[in-house]
A and B are shown apart, each in its own frame.
Chain A
Amino acid sequence: MLRIINGEVYDPLNGVNGEVRDVCAADGKIVSEAPDGKVIDAQGMVVMPGGIEFHAHVAGGKVNAGRKMRPEDHREMAIPRTPLTRSGVGHTVPSTFATGYHFAQLGYTTVMEAAGPPLGARHVHEELNDIPILDKGFFVLMGNNYFVLKFIAEGDFARLKDYVAWLLEATGGYAIKIVNPAGVDTWKWGRNVNSLDDPADTFPVTPRQIVVNLARVQQELGLPHTIHVHCNNLGVPGNAQITLQTMQAVGDLPIHVTHAQFNGYGGTGWGDFHSGAPELAAYVNEHKNVTVDMGQVVFGPVTTMTADGPWQYRLYQLSGHKWVNCDVEMETSAGIVPYRFSKRNAVNAVQWAVGLELALLIEDPWRVFLTTDHPNGGPFHAYPDIIKLLLDRDHRAEVLEGVHRGAQKRSSLKDLHREYSLFEIAIITRAGPARALGLRQKGHLGPGADADIAIYSKAADPKEMFARPRYVIKAGEIVAQDGRIVQDKPGRTFYVAPGYDRQIESAIRDDFEKYYTVSFENYPVQFDHYLPHRVAVSCVRE
């Protein structure tokens, strides 16, 4: 049992805004009272629910390929083994153990892997299981899946729904991820799509149809998280238009547009490249069915990795850096390109501004989340820097002065004077992601919630405050103290099992045996082996 007394509590889901009150935990859950047990005196400290990483690339084939191709990234950060913890390396793509420790040291207790190919589900789970301390889940890539395209082309919505449900269960996944719908499929023939109405190659299905159909599937299956969309034309000047059209296409259906920064640009080329954030934010402000995450750029080295193969090829051509591109049969692709965001580069400076603009222009903090699309926009350990930029407008103005003037001329950032409060920071890093993910036991400190708690010393410098929590508590036990890991234990994996008509197996078996290189029986992951600490999150059908 554990009692945290005298702390200033920020618990947005329960409407607690900085009140001094006690937080108690017993048996891994928050309880209203804990008469005995350890007491933490949090006098002068801030108590928040444990942080929730909404979108990061931390496990699976492409993350591992990123590690393999960047030995120089390993040299920059090496953590030695201790009697308690394992060793690790990596600055932008840390090894699994280092990933878990770094997140926990920042007060984060849950992380969602943003893109796993179904065929690579075993690899994703193996790495998730090797990420210590944190609770996890992964989003399953579906936007260019052969069967998804096929059932949409055939207009067979019932089968599409059953297939999605089957696939989520076969992979132990958590949500529907869509990356460059139809574009990745056409990339298998060396092309891309440019509009919502360009058809894919394997079947004549458009991005619009894919997004709308999967959004309906999500609703009808009652999945806890909305569709999670990486829009078409990512990274390309002027792509804010297609992002807007994607949001408009789904109408009132819920949609999450991820790393919106990378999809929030105006202009027609690199010459007149400018921010498209005001248009996107205006739409998000008007439409409550839309959530976004920032995908904030952090100046310095990054490793871009995404299932968006055609974009990564283009980025390789732009940067000339080493690269990896690969095809996942029947399902998706992947690309990895190391990159460096430079303060002195006009385009990079605008990209940096766009993420901040989105966070500042979207009025409802419940619908915009703090991410860097780790490791694409920046490594997650830069979160304290970003929090400081949101909390302190003077600091923001100072940083803006130090970057390429393009950020001032081609974005509205210098006119934005909004400052986040600690309450709002707690929303965009914890409560909001928990609500959007449909994880009811996460992101708050009400009785019955998981006892995941981060306690920060109030410091004059918010960066210092958020970089090193005094205590991080996971499932009621202290796991990190003053930036040191004090307990190393495995986390759990969330998955969904919406249920499906068994007929779907015979409906896909023929094509499966014909085209996949693995047999149908060997495709689904064995839960006992790959999800040893699993938690099913219930689906609520309407």
Chain B
Amino acid sequence: MTTLRLKTWPAVPLEAEAITPDRFVGKTSAEIEALPVHHGNQEAALGDFFAVSGDGTPDIAIEGDLARVKLIGAGMTQGQITVHGDAGMHLGAAMSGGRIGVHGNAGDWAGAEMRGGQIYIRGNAGHGLGGAYRGSPQGMNRGLIVVAGSAGNEVGSAMRRGVIVVGGNTGDFTGAFMIAGSILVFGNLGERAGAGMKRGSIITYQTPKLLPTFRYACTYRPVFLRLLLRELRSLGQEIAEEWFERRYRRYCGDLTAFGKGEILAWEGP
């Protein structure tokens, strides 16, 4: 276990893509402290802000308020990061493997364009969760993101594959321009969910406000959803028994796009 403890609160956001298991493996704590970070437009060392202890194992624990520390675990391919506090923007962006756990909140663009691995956030997440960066053709493509709290706008935008679970509410444009994949929202969906979606599933447990370009298809019990919910339960997610039993209303859309997507709305108890 390698432990980082924030000792200096960065005056401006710190870009710390150095904090990944891939960069830590096989390094001594002194070598890890020497890894480069960007503090605003200044080059700095990780050791200027963090006290590092432990050897370079691919298991990292970070302590302190990291709301201003960006790019934690960005691009990681292996190992584990646990953040005991808040995490800044771009947490686990473009990661392709490993696991990140955040005990507090995460900033915008958590898991943006990720290609695999898992992210668990106990608090809330910001905008662009698992989404596509501006201009990119694809957002998240494989992997799992679970947020216990709520998330901001554009959750899973242009998502291609994978699963996003939000325990609370989501902001506007949830699953906008989705290409495929699944987004489960246990709270309220914001406005214009699924706008421009081609394929994929958005599953909601409240009555959704639908765009006029979504059309009612049928009411049924989706088999895949039972498997998905069971899998999530086995990962420790709280899943109500009645979500297995009751039916879902299926709305297909977005008819301005390819129209093979769906919003599944639970019928209620």
Contacts and interface: CB of A to CB of B under 8 A. Distances in A.
Interface string B122-149: 0000000000011111000000000000
Contacts of B137: 72, 321
A70 interface: yes
Interface string A54-77: 000000000000000111110100
Interface string A64-105: 000001111101000000000000000000000000000000
A69 B134 CA distance: 10
Nearest to A80: B41
Contacts of B136: 72
Contacts of A321: 137
Contacts of A71: 133-135
A252 to B, nearest CB: 48
Interface string A4-30: 000000000000000000000000000
Q: Chain B's interface: helix, strand, loop or mixed, by majority?
A: loop
Contacts of A75: 133
A378 to B, nearest CB: 19
Contacts of A70: 135
A367 B93 CA distance: 49
A70 B133 CA distance: 11
Contacts of B133: 71-72, 75
A71 B135 CA distance: 5
A73 B136 CA distance: 9
Residue of B134, B135, B136, B137 most packed against chain A (CB within 10 A): B135
B22 to A, nearest CB: 20
A250 B48 CA distance: 71
Interface residues of A, number: 7
Interface string B91-121: 0000000000000000000000000000000
Nearest to A75: B133
B70 to A, nearest CB: 15
Nearest to B136: A72
Nearest to A340: B137
B199 to A, nearest CB: 14
Interface string B187-209: 00000000000000000000000
B113 to A, nearest CB: 10
Interface in B159-186: none
A69 B136 CA distance: 11
Contacts of A73: 135
A69 B133 CA distance: 13
Contacts of A72: 133-137
Contacts of B134: 71-72
A71 B134 CA distance: 6
B166 to A, nearest CB: 26
Contacts of B135: 69-73
A485 B24 CA distance: 34
Nearest to B198: A320
Nearest to A322: B135
A162 B81 CA distance: 72
A412 to B, nearest CB: 35
A541 to B, nearest CB: 50
A71 B137 CA distance: 11
Nearest to A71: B135
A72 B135 CA distance: 5
Interface string A310-343: 0000000000010000000000000000000000
B246 to A, nearest CB: 38
A221 to B, nearest CB: 43
Nearest to B134: A71
B268 to A, nearest CB: 38
A7 B135 CA distance: 47
A321 B158 CA distance: 13
Q: Which of A69, A71, A73 has the most C-beta atoms of chain B within 10 angstroms of its own C-beta?
A: A71
A105 to B, nearest CB: 24
A70 B136 CA distance: 8
Interface string A486-497: 000000000000
A369 B125 CA distance: 54
A70 B134 CA distance: 8
A501 to B, nearest CB: 50
Interface string A207-231: 0000000000000000000000000
A69 B137 CA distance: 12
A95 to B, nearest CB: 15
13 contacts: A69-B135, A70-B135, A71-B133, A71-B134, A71-B135, A72-B133, A72-B134, A72-B135, A72-B136, A72-B137, A73-B135, A75-B133, A321-B137
Interface of B: 133-137
Which 7 residue pairs across A and B have the least CB separation, nearest first? Answer: A72-B135, A71-B135, A71-B134, A72-B136, A70-B135, A72-B133, A75-B133
Interface of A: 69-73, 75, 321
Given A71-B133, A72-B135, A72-B137, 10 more contacts: A69-B135, A70-B135, A71-B134, A71-B135, A72-B133, A72-B134, A72-B136, A73-B135, A75-B133, A321-B137
